[in-house]
Amino acid sequence: AGQHRLWPEIDTLVKQQVSMARLGVGECGAGWQLFAEDGEMRMYRREEEVDGMVVDPLKAVHTVKGITGHELCHYFFKPEYRYDWETTLENMQVLETISDDTLLFFQTHKRIWPASQRDTLFWSHMRRLPNDQDRDGPDIWAVVNNSTDLASYPPNTGKCVRIFLTVCLLCQTRIDPPKDGAPISRDNITCKITYCSVVNPGGWAPASVLRAVYKREYPKFLKRFTAFVTNKTKDKPIMF
């Protein structure tokens, strides 16, 4: 099949996002401040404004036992599960199935007073990456979501302000095989998660409101999402 019009952009951005996500917080530029901590979860942000709008880049790292990176990316990518874990979602549509690992989404998110309601239009791509650092280590899985335009969905024509986002969920699975040569169970696997996002709110919203919203919503999202995947997979065979 011929290449989709978005393929070059997707391939370039996925490689760029993954290499950024693999950098530790200390390595990818100064100015990261820890703003939330919960068990193994650490959330960092950099305070950045574009045209007076808060676009604080966010980087979260988390470690979850008993699930694989493939499973996390699967439940993050597939539309049929999204209403189960995405707290601020009001409506979600798949506008185009570009390929079996690339979808085009249109979403409206619940209004967050006093800002106006937001919608977002983005491509979403899921990919397994070779683990080039640790040859025999388990693979790395990633999902990248990136805002895009579509003539039939022009921004800011209805009730919602269009937001622009780039999101990368990068997951690496660690397997600690049992000593006695028993088959690998969920007790022997751990997933290291890096979630990076930059959300441009589109229209003006008070910096204090946006920062309060992010501080509340991001930790809630990552905890709820990982709990959902843990619960969904606990009685299923391991998807490596």
Ligand X SMILES: CCCCCc1ccc(-c2ccc(S(=O)(=O)CCO)cc2)cc1[C@H]1C[C@H]1c1ccccn1
Q: Which residues bind ligand X (CB under 6 A)?
A: 86, 88, 107, 109, 112, 115, 118, 120, 145, 163, 165, 167, 197, 199, 201, 205, 210, 213-214, 217-218, 221
- The minimum distance between CB 162 and ligand X, in angstroms, equals 10
Tell me which DSSP letter residue 186 carries. G
Nearer to ligand X, 169 or 189 (CB): 169
For residue 240 the two structure tokens come to: 């490596």
- The minimum distance between CB 214 and ligand X, in angstroms, equals 6
Three-state secondary structure call for residue 240 = coil
Nearer to ligand X, 94 or 115 (CB): 115
**Cα gap 68→233, rounded to integer Å:** 10
Phi-psi sector, 182: left (phi>0), alpha (psi -120 to 50), beta: beta
Question: Which residues share a beta bridge with 170?
Answer: 142, 194
Angle CA 119–4–86, to nearest 5: 30
Nearer to ligand X, 95 or 115 (CB): 115
Residue whose structure tokens are 């760029």 = 16
- The minimum distance between CB 122 and ligand X, in angstroms, equals 7
> Rg for the chain (alpha carbons), in Å?
18
Torsion of CA 100, 104, 109, 115, to 10 degrees: 150
Nearer to ligand X, 186 or 209 (CB): 209
Q: Is 189 exposed, middle or buried, given 0-12, 13-18 or 19+ CB atoms closer than 10 A?
A: buried
Nearer to ligand X, 28 or 213 (CB): 213
Residue whose structure tokens are 């983005």 = 122
- The minimum distance between CB 230 and ligand X, in angstroms, equals 18
Of 128, 98, 89, the C-alpha closest to 225 is: 89
- The minimum distance between CB 168 and ligand X, in angstroms, equals 9
- The minimum distance between CB 163 and ligand X, in angstroms, equals 5
Nearer to ligand X, 129 or 207 (CB): 207
